[in-house]
Structure 1
Amino acid sequence: MRIGQAGAVLKRHGVMTSLTERLDGPSAIAIWGSDEPGDAFRLGTRELDWHHHRRGQLFCIESGLIRLHTKQGSWLLPPQRIGWLPPGLHHKVTLSGVLSGWGVLLTPAASRTLPSQPCVMGVSDLLRALVRRAAGWTNADRLTPAQTRVVAVLLDEIRGAPQEPLHLPMPTDIRALRIANALIRRPHDARTLHELGEWAGLSERTARRIFMAETGMGFTQWRQQARLTLALERLAANEPVADVAEALGYATSSNFIAMFRRAFGEPPARYFAKQRRTRNVG
């Protein structure tokens, strides 16, 4: 792991958690991780149970996929996107095939102007260059004036980054949650909301009201969002588009590709090819 100004901290405390919990020192600590044995910022394929950090976290992976779970729902992070996790938020993480990536740990004060909820954003070449610069800093206790200006530009880039539709909020009502979990387990389930409501013990009208009130989405939009996030997981694992479309309940691959294009502005093949090109260049 390359940890820039965090190096002295890691040597002193010996564990990665010392960085995420440290409230003194630099307002921003840049870290780079890999799937190499002994890496303190170990990636790869694994699950991290419920926990929280005192520092906010920005993170970006070069390959694989990360799913971030909170009590309010889940966020999916594909390669070459930025995930943001505010300080103090309880969460658990599932990493799948993540070989390398970077993160920036921000104090609560530095996090105040960033979103209050987790989100996924696009990453610019400038932001990537700023993180690489920060990872090379060797002063462990405070930033120089020039470094402080770099952090200010980095935060400006984050605030201006476009958010992407990779959040799947979950209802809290036990009946609506039963419907949501059923559709995540079996996304090809073709039952209507009326049929699902009868199965879960509530009327269609009540189900629509609950989904809108508790997830901020209408049921149809929520169902499509669930399929979209599940599609990204499968596509990131190199499943053929036709197989993904069938698994999610689409009548044809064309219908699935049209949905994907509406969400991301391009078809799946181009979306993932762009990520591979960016990774090879970076």
Structure 2
Amino acid sequence: MPRAVRPDRSINAEDYQHAPRPVAAMPKDYAPGEEIAPHSHRRAQLLYAVSGVMRITAEEMPAGQAAARPKGIWIVPPQRAVWIPSGCEHEVRMVGPVQMRTLYVEPDAAPGLPAQCRVIEVSGLLRELILALMDEPLDYAPDSRGAAVARLLLQELVAVEALPLHLPQPRDVRLQAVCRQIEARIGEELPLEDIARDAGMSSRTLARLFRRETGIGFQQWRQQARLAEALARLAAGQPVGIVATDLGYAGTAAFTAMFRRSLGTTPSRYFETRAPSPAARGRSR
């Protein structure tokens, strides 16, 4: 029979903020639609989705680096993870049931750890290291297997690259309303001129403000929003053809081409099941 995660593991995040070792691992499962209210941690963290999709809303910059920090949204599909720096306020919403495996990392545990939130591809090695640390005691000895796993984990985290699964959020209230409108009518090709008129500005002003506030163009933001919605629906088991139609694409081929440009592969390959090792099959808590 497969092993469950260690039965002595706490599912209270605060119990991990002053753990005796620089990297601590916590397993916890969540019900569909469950939410974690805005909060921050002393330690940085890596949230890994063994299954399910997470929607993270977080500050664009860690605490202390900007007086008024804008927020962004990161979509975390299954078998991917999101890195959240120390002191960064964030909230989490589960899309479907989520098996979450979290690493809490001391901010100075290794030079070069990411300073910004980012969604990352979890390689086979990184996945097995995350799950292996779940099976080690929190107070693993400095010369133990747990310490060796933690050291290699830190090297992998320094080297990871971000995935394009980020929706930067504007601070301007008019642009916030524009973003809500786009997400509410995600499958419609709303003309920029109509959206700008509803927001009380010219299309040129809207486009200029949008790029200044989010760092990307309006059309790119809309495509990112559609990609985020597609990932949530595909992870929930909706057929590619239905997702493509609902999101306004002319057909499956056009949707698949967009998906490949964004993520480097087709939807079916992206969601190929990677069997979790025994440590991932913990009991719901």
Q: What range describes the TM-score normalised by the shorter chain of this pair?
A: 0.7 to 0.9
Structure 2 CA distance for aligned equivalents of residues 259 and 212 of structure 1: 21
Q: Is the 8 A contact 2:128 2:277 kept in 1?
A: no
Q: Spell out the pairing of 1:76-225 with structure 2 (5 A cutoff).
A: 76-110=75-109, 113-138=112-137, 140=139, 143-146=141-144, 147-225=146-224
Report the counterpart of residue 12 of structure 2 in structure 1. 16
Report the counterpart of residue 231 of structure 2 in structure 1. 232
Report the counterpart of residue 33 of structure 1 in structure 2. 28
Q: 1:136 to 1:170 in 2, by over 3 A?
A: same
AA at the equivalent of 2:180: N
Residue 278 of structure 1 and its aligned partner are, at CA, apart by 4.0
Residue 3 of structure 1 and its aligned partner are, at CA, apart by 5.5
- The answer to whether structure 1 residue 63 and structure 2 residue 51 are counterparts is yes
Residue 216 of structure 1 and its aligned partner are, at CA, apart by 1.1
AA at the equivalent of 1:277: R
Structure 2 CA distance for aligned equivalents of residues 185 and 167 of structure 1: 18
Q: Is the 8 A contact 2:54 2:98 kept in 1?
A: no
Residue 105 of structure 1 and its aligned partner are, at CA, apart by 0.7
Residue 139 of structure 1 and its aligned partner are, at CA, apart by 5.3
The unaligned stretches of length 5 or more in structure 2 are 60-70, 281-285
Percent of residue pairs bearing the same amino acid type? 36
AA at the equivalent of 2:37: D
Structure 1 CA distance for aligned equivalents of residues 113 and 45 of structure 2: 11
- The answer to whether structure 1 residue 44 and structure 2 residue 41 are counterparts is no
SS at match of 2:108: helix
Equivalent in 2, 7, 11 of residue 5 of structure 2: 2
Structure 2 CA distance for aligned equivalents of residues 116 and 223 of structure 1: 26
SS at match of 1:70: strand
**What whole-Å deviation, never above 9, does each CA across 1:50-84 have from its counterpart, x for those lacking one?**
11122211121221111111251110111111211
AA at the equivalent of 1:70: A
Report the counterpart of residue 277 of structure 1 in structure 2. 274
Report the counterpart of residue 39 of structure 1 in structure 2. none
SS at match of 1:110: coil
Q: 1:189 to 1:112 in 2, by over 3 A?
A: farther
SS at match of 1:79: coil
Q: 1:270 to 1:87 in 2, by over 3 A?
A: same
Higher mean alpha-carbon deviation, 217-226 vs 88-97, is at 88-97
Residue 112 of structure 1 and its aligned partner are, at CA, apart by 6.1
AA at the equivalent of 1:19: D
**What whole-Å deviation, never above 9, does each CA across 1:245-273 have from its counterpart, x for those lacking one?**
1221112222111101111122212211x
Structure 2 CA distance for aligned equivalents of residues 204 and 47 of structure 1: 36
Q: Is the 8 A contact 2:24 2:138 kept in 1?
A: no
Q: Is the 8 A contact 2:46 2:103 kept in 1?
A: yes
SS at match of 2:164: coil
Q: Is the 8 A contact 1:3 1:30 kept in 2?
A: no
Residue 181 of structure 1 and its aligned partner are, at CA, apart by 1.0
Report the counterpart of residue 260 of structure 2 in structure 1. 261
Q: Is the 8 A contact 1:3 1:31 kept in 2?
A: no
AA at the equivalent of 1:44: A
The unaligned stretches of length 5 or more in structure 1 are 35-42
Residue 96 of structure 1 and its aligned partner are, at CA, apart by 2.5
CA RMSD of aligned residues (A): 2.3
Q: Is the 8 A contact 2:25 2:138 kept in 1?
A: no
Aligned residues: 263
Q: What TM-score, normalized to structure 2? A: 0.84
Q: Is the 8 A contact 2:131 2:277 kept in 1?
A: no
**What whole-Å deviation, never above 9, does each CA across 1:188-227 have from its counterpart, x for those lacking one?**
2322212211111111111111121111111111111111
Report the counterpart of residue 37 of structure 1 in structure 2. none
Q: 1:47 to 1:24 in 2, by over 3 A?
A: closer
Q: Is the 8 A contact 1:56 1:111 kept in 2?
A: no
